[in-house]
Amino acid sequence: AKVARAVLAKYGVERIETRLVAEGGSFETDGEGTLLVTESSVVNANRNPGMSRDQVEAELKKALGVTKVIWLAGVKGKD
């Protein structure tokens, strides 16, 4: 978290806060408004307890500025 804050400050990039917890590789964007995301990784009680897929999708759209989310099943417990 300290490294991210330092990099953002150095380059004058606005920090966007979200309550979502994700891991590297659980989502990928094309930079054109579309996001690929693994459901087994993000809609998971050990990362985002109590959040439905719809709630996670709404937060991803808000935080990342995407307009389309494509869900991939993933492999539960092995992502």
The CA-CA-CA angle for residues 72, 74, 76, to 5°, reads 140
Query: What is the reported pLDDT for 77?
Result: 62
Instruction: Round the CA-based radius of gyration of the chain to a whole number and report it.
Output: 13
Q: Which of 45, 33, 40 is CA-nearest to residue 69?
A: 33
* Single pTM value for the model: 0.80
Considering the chain, what is the average pLDDT of its residues? 91
Mean pLDDT of 34-51: 93
Bridge pairing between strands 68-72 and 27-29: unpaired
pLDDT tens digits, 54-73:
999 999 999 999 999 999 99
* Closest C-alpha among 53, 35, 34 to residue 43: 53
pLDDT of residue 62: 94
Bridge partners of residue 20, in order along the sequence? none
